[in-house]
Amino acid sequence: MQTIQDKIGHFPRQLEDESIYILREVAAQFERPALLFSGGKDSITLVRLAQKAFFPGKIPFPLVHIDTGHNFPETIEFRDWLAKETGAKLIVRYVQDSINQGKATEESGKYASRNVLQTVTLLDTIEEFKFDACIGGARRDEEKARAKERIFSVRDDFGQWDAKRQRPELFDMLNGRIAVGENVRVFPISNWTELDVWNYIKEEKMEIPSIYYSHQRQVIERDGMLWADSEYLNKEADEIPFEATVRFRTVGDMTCTAAVASDATDIDVIIEEILSAEISERGARIDDKRSEAAMEKRKQQGYF
C-alpha cells in the first residue's frame, strides 16, 4: 500500500544546498544586506537557511519586518520569539508611520487592505538603512509574475522591477554588481514549491506560528471564503461573525488572507490537505485577485 510518505516524497536536499549557496553569496557580495521577514512560513524557512549557511557564526544580516499593523497577533509574537532564539537583529518599521507622514493613504471600502502600502514603508526603510540587498521568501510557483523573476533581481532607485531588462542568470553564477542607489532583491527559495517548504519544516522539525494549525476563531464568510474577524476588516451589515475550526495556509495581513476550514493539528495532515487541495495557495489572497496582473504591477512599483 502507498503511504503518505510515498505520495509526498522527501524534501529534495539539493534545494537546501542551492539556497545556502545563494545566502552566502549575498553575505559576500553586498555591504548591507537584510532579510525581509514577515513571520510566515517562507521567511521562517529563510531564517533557518541563514542559520545553516553561517553556522556556527550568527546570521550576518538583520531581519526586517514591515509591519502593516494589521498582522495576526500570533505572527508578531512568533516574530519576536524567533529573533530572540536565533540572536538575529530585528528591525521593525510601521506602515502606520508612513500613513501619519502622509506618504501613504489608507484604502477605503469593503476590500481595504494595507498590502500595497507596505511598498512605501519598505522603500523608505531600504533608504534609511541603505540596504543594498533585500532577501525575500518569494517562490516562483506562487504566482506567474514571480515565476519570471531572477534569483538576483536588480531594482532601480525607486525599487522598480523591469521584467524586460533582467540580467541573464547562468549556471549558478550570481552577478550582484549594482550602481549607487540601486538594490538587489534576492530570492533564495525561488525553486521551492509550497510542498517543498512544508516538507522542509517537517523534516527540520521547525517551529511555526500557531495559526498554521487548526484552531477555533471568529470568522465571517465573504466571497465563498472565511475571513478572520478583526477591527481591521470593513464588515458589511450582513456579515455576521461566527465561530469556526480553521487554519491558515498562507499568512499575510488579516484583511487579505483567508482561512480554510480544517481540523489539521499536525504537519502530516497539513501536507495531506495541500496535496488534495483544489485551490492554489494564493487563491486565498484577495490582493492577487484585483486583476490578472496584480502581482506584476505591484512588483513594478517596488513590492517584493
Total of chain residues touching another protein, rule CB under 8 A: 62
d(CA 245, CA 261): 6
In the complex, minimum distance from the CB of residue 231 to another protein, in angstroms, rounded to a whole number:
29
Q: What is the DSSP string of 111-146?
A: T--STTTHHHHHHHHHHHHT-SEEE----TTS-TTG
d(CA 228, CA 222): 10
C-beta of 55 vs 81, nearer to another protein: 55
C-beta of 1 vs 173, nearer to another protein: 173
The residue within the footprint of another protein, chosen from 90, 178, 206, 269 (CB under 8 A), is 178
Instruction: Decide: is 301 part of the binding site for another protein (CB under 8 A).
Output: no
- Tell which positions 111-140 bind another protein, by CB under 8 A: 140
C-beta of 104 vs 174, nearer to another protein: 174
C-beta of 55 vs 158, nearer to another protein: 55
In the complex, minimum distance from the CB of residue 162 to another protein, in angstroms, rounded to a whole number:
11
CA 31 to chain centre: 24
Instruction: Decide: is 173 part of the binding site for another protein (CB under 8 A).
Output: yes
Q: What angle do CA 20, 25, 31 make, to 5 degrees?
A: 130
Give the relative orientation of helices 13-29 and 41-54 as an angle to the nearest 10 degrees. Answer: 70
d(CA 95, CA 189): 26
Comparing CA positions, the residue from 119, 155, 122 lying closest to residue 295 is 119
Q: Which residues bind another protein (CB under 8 A)?
A: 6-7, 9-12, 14-18, 20-21, 24-25, 27-28, 51-58, 140-141, 143-148, 154, 163-164, 166-173, 175, 177-179, 190-191, 193, 195-196, 277-280, 283, 292-293, 296-297
